[in-house]
Structure 1
Amino acid sequence: MLYPLKFKTIFKDKIWGGQKIKTILNKDFSPLPNCGETWEISGVKSDVSVVANGILAGVSLADLLSKEKGKLIGKKNYERFGNEFPLLIKFIDANDDLSIQVHPDDELAEKRHRSKGKTEMWYVIQADKNAALISGFNQEIDKKEYLKKFNAGEINDILNKEQVAAGDVFFLPAGRVHTIGKGLLIAEIQQTSDVTYRIYDFDRVDDKGNKRELHVEEALDAIDFTYHDEYKTKYQATKNQPIELVDCPYFTTNVLDYTKEVVKDYNNLDSFVIHICVEGNYILKYGVEEIPVQTGDCILIPATIDQVLLKTNSGFKILESYIK
C-alpha cells in the first residue's frame, strides 16, 4: 500500500556552495566541505531518489513508479510522462553567484538531448542583506544586440538584477536567462531535466585551475529575448489559507502558511502532491500513521491518497506542488 513518502537526500558539491543546507535546513552533508544543492525528489536517471521511510525504504522512485504507475503520480500524469517522474525538487545554497545560464524548452531539449526542457520556479527561503538574483532582461533587446553586448563583455548591463528577500517568488519559463546570486537559499521546483546552457561563469576556476565549460552558441537558440516589465511573482501572503504562486502546464504551486491544523483534501486531484517544508514543523497524519515534518523535509503524497491531516503547535510554511 502506498503512503506519504520521504526520500534520502542527494547532496551536490558545487564550486559556489556553502553551509546553509546544514545550518538552516538541518541536513548533514559530511564529508563534503560545502554543499551547493540537494536533490530531494528526483527521477533524473543519474540521480534517482530512494525511499527513506516505511516498508518501501530502499526502493528507488524509478522502480516504484514502474510498479505503481498512475497510483503513484495520477492516471493523466502517467499517460503523459510514463515511467519518468515529472518533477525535480531541489534546495540551492548560493554562497557565491551561480553562472549566468538558460534552459531549453521541450522542443529544443528533445531535438538536442532527448530530454525534457526545463521550466522552473524559485522560492526564496532565506536571503542575506543585499542578496540579489537575475531574471530576464532589463530592456528591449534582440539577438544581434545581445551578441554585441556579450562579445564586449557587457552582458551584465542588459540583465534584470533584483534585490530579494525571504518569501519572494520567481517563475522561470524555459528560455529565460537567469542566475541565483550570492547569499540566497532557495527551494526550486522544476521539470525533470538536467540540461543547462552556461552563458557566463565570471571566469572562475575549479581546484585544478580549470574554467567550467560554457555553452554560448547552444544558448543562442534557447534564449527568449522578450522583455517584461515585471519578473517577480506578485502574491498576497495570507495566513491559514492556500495561496497560488504558480500555475503552468508543468506544475502548480501554492504556499500554505498555517498556524493551526488543516485537513488537505485531494479527492478531486488526479495527481501526486509534494509538500516542501520551508519553515516550521508539523505532523502529517494519514490513517493511523503520523509522519513528523520539519524545515527542509519534502514529502511525496501518492495520487491514491485523498486526504491528509497536518497538525502543528508552532506553525509551518510549505510549498504544495502538483500537476493539474
Structure 2
Amino acid sequence: MNKRMMMMTGVAPFGLKPWFSERVWGKKDLTPWYAETGTTELVGEAWLTGPQCVVETGPLAGQTLASVGEQLGGEFPLLVKILFPADKLSVQVHPDDAQAKALGETRGKTECWYVLEAEQNATVALGLKPGVGAKEVAASVESGTMESLMEHVPVAVGDMLFVDAGTVHAIGPGVVLLETQQTSDVTYRLYDYGRPRELHLEKGLQVLKSKTQAGKVAPRMMDGFTRLIEQKYFTVDRFEVAAAGEINVSFSGPGCLVGLAGGGVVKTIDGDVELSLGKAVVMPSGGGSVVVETSVGALFARCVAPV
C-alpha cells in the first residue's frame, strides 16, 4: 500500500515545517496552533505547503519544498495556509488562469476557506452586491465606501466557502481559516482602509467579476469522511477519528494531510511521520493510500489536487 505511494514519485510522504508570513493585520500570539513563530512581528499566515517550507522528515529533510520539485515531478500544486487576522485584510481580487497569463503571471488563484475558529456574529466579505461592477468599485475606492458594495456572509466553525477567481473579497478579525488554493500568490489589492500600502487598481478592476460561483458549500457525508468541497483545482475532506485506532486515507492526486485537533502518525515506508496541530504531511503523488494511527483521536483535513 505505502510502497505504491512511493513508486509514483520515488518519494514517500514527508512532514513540512510551517513558514510564517508577517502581515500588518496579523497576530503575535498564534496559540493554541503554534507555541512560537520565530519572530516578534505580527504574523498573518502560516504557510503549510509553501515553497519556503522546509522538509522535516525522510531523505529530503532540510530542503525546501521548492527545491525538491524535480524529485516530486514538478511544483507542488496546492498552497495550504492557516490565516490569523487580528485586523481587516485588504479588499482584494485574484485573476483566473487566462487573466493571469495575459498579465504575465504563471497561473491564477482560486481558493477556498474552511472556518477553524469564529467569534459570534463573525462574517467574511465575499463578492459584490447585485448590479455592482468595475465602475462602481472604482468610485467606492475613491470615496472610501468599498465595504458597502460587498456581500457580508455570516460564518461559523465548520463552514466551507468557495472563493472563485475574480471574486472581490475580504476577511476581517474574529475568524481563523484554513485556506487551500492554487500555488500562486497573485493578489490585486483594491482597497486598504487608508493604510499606506500599494493598491493594484488597474489590474484589479480588469480581472474582477460582478458575479462568480463564490459562496458557502454544503458538506457531503462520504464513506468514512466528510467532503467539504470539490472543485477543479482542489478537493478538501475532513476526517474524524473519535478514539484510539487507525484509518486508511487514499489519494487520487498529490496532496497533504493537515492536523486540526488531537494527533497521530502517518505510517510510511520511511517510518512514522507525526500528524500534529497546524502542520502538513505531504503526499507527493496520487494512486496510493496511507494509514493514520492515533492513540488519542484526531481531526484532520485531506487537501488533494485532482489529476
Normalization by structure 1: what TM-score?
0.83
- The one-letter code sitting in structure 1 at the alignment partner of 2:54 is V
User: For residue 224 of structure 1, what is the aligned residue in structure 2?
Assistant: 209
User: Is residue 265 of structure 2 the alignment partner of residue 283 of structure 1?
Assistant: yes
Per the alignment, residue 217 of structure 2 pairs with 233
The verdict on how the C-alpha distance between 1:221 and 1:133 changes in structure 2, with shifts beyond 3 A counting, is same
- Name the counterpart of 2:22: 13
**Amino acid in structure 1 at the alignment position of 2:211:** T
Match of 2:157 among 154, 160, 166: 166
Residue 130 of structure 1 aligns to a residue in which SS?
coil
1:249 corresponds in structure 2 to: 232
Distance 1:239 1:25, change over 3 A: farther
Equivalence map 1:1-324=2 (5 Å): 2-21=11-30, 23-43=31-51, 48-69=52-73, 83-204=74-195, 211-226=196-211, 231-235=215-219, 241-259=224-242, 260-266=245-251, 269=252, 271-287=253-269, 289-303=271-285, 306-324=288-306
**Residue 98 (structure 1) shift:** 0.5
Cα distance between partner residues in 1 of 2:23 and 2:134: 31
Structure 1 residue 308: Cα displacement: 1.3
Structure 2 unaligned blocks of 5 or more: 1-9
Q: Deviations over 1:183-240 (max 9, x none)?
A: 2111111111111111111112xxxxxx001112211111110177x8211225x698
Relative to its length, the structure with more strand (as a share) is 2
| Alpha-carbon distance between aligned partners in 2 of 1:3 and 1:107, rounded to the nearest angstrom | 34
Could you list the per-position Cα deviations for residues 226-271 of structure 1 after superposition, in whole angstroms to 9, with x for gaps in the alignment?
A: 177x8211225x69822222222211111212215211234xx2x2
Taking a change above 3 Å as real, the CA distance of residues 66 and 287 of structure 1, as seen in their structure-2 partners, is: closer
Matched to 2:201, the amino acid is: V
| Alpha-carbon separation, structure 1, partners of 2:212 and 2:102 | 26
- Secondary structure of the equivalent of 2:63? coil
The answer to whether the 8 A contact 1:241-1:258 is kept is no
Number of residues of Structure 1 aligned to a counterpart in Structure 2: 295
Percent identity (aligned):
31
8 Å contact 2:273–2:281 — kept in the other structure? no
Tell me the SS of whatever aligns to 2:152.
strand
Instruction: Tell me if structure 1 keeps the 8 A contact 2:18–2:279.
Output: no
C-alpha distance in 2, partners of 1:265/1:91?
Answer: 23
> 2:203 is matched by which residue type in structure 1?
E
Over aligned residues, Cα RMSD in angstroms? 2.2
SS in 2 for 1:67: helix
Structure 1 counterpart SS, 2:14: coil
Change (3 A) 1:28 1:193: same
User: What displacement does 1:305 show?
Assistant: 7.1
Aligned-partner SS, 1:38? strand
Alpha-carbon distance in structure 2 between the residues aligned to 1:227 and 1:289: 44
Write the distance in 2 (CA, Å) between the matches of 1:284 and 1:54.
13
TM-score, structure 2 as length reference: 0.88
Structure 1 residue 59 displacement after superposition: 2.1
Please identify, of 152-161 and 168-177, the stretch whose mean Cα deviation from structure 2 is larger: 152-161
Deviation at 1:121, TM superposition (A): 0.6
Q: Is the 2:13–2:281 contact (alpha carbons within 8 Å) kept by the matching residues of 1?
A: yes
CA contact (8 A) 2:12 2:270 kept: no
Please list the CA deviations of residues 21-65 of structure 1 after superposition, one character each: whole Å capped at 9, or x if unmatched: 3x121241133232111111123xxxx332111232112323322
**Residue pair 2:237, 2:301 contacting (<8 A) in 1 also:** yes
Q: Does the 8 Å contact 1:17/1:36 carry over to 2?
A: yes
- On the 8 A contact 2:133/2:209 being kept in 1, the answer is no
Distance, in Å, in 1 between the alignment partners of 2:276 and 2:53 is: 19
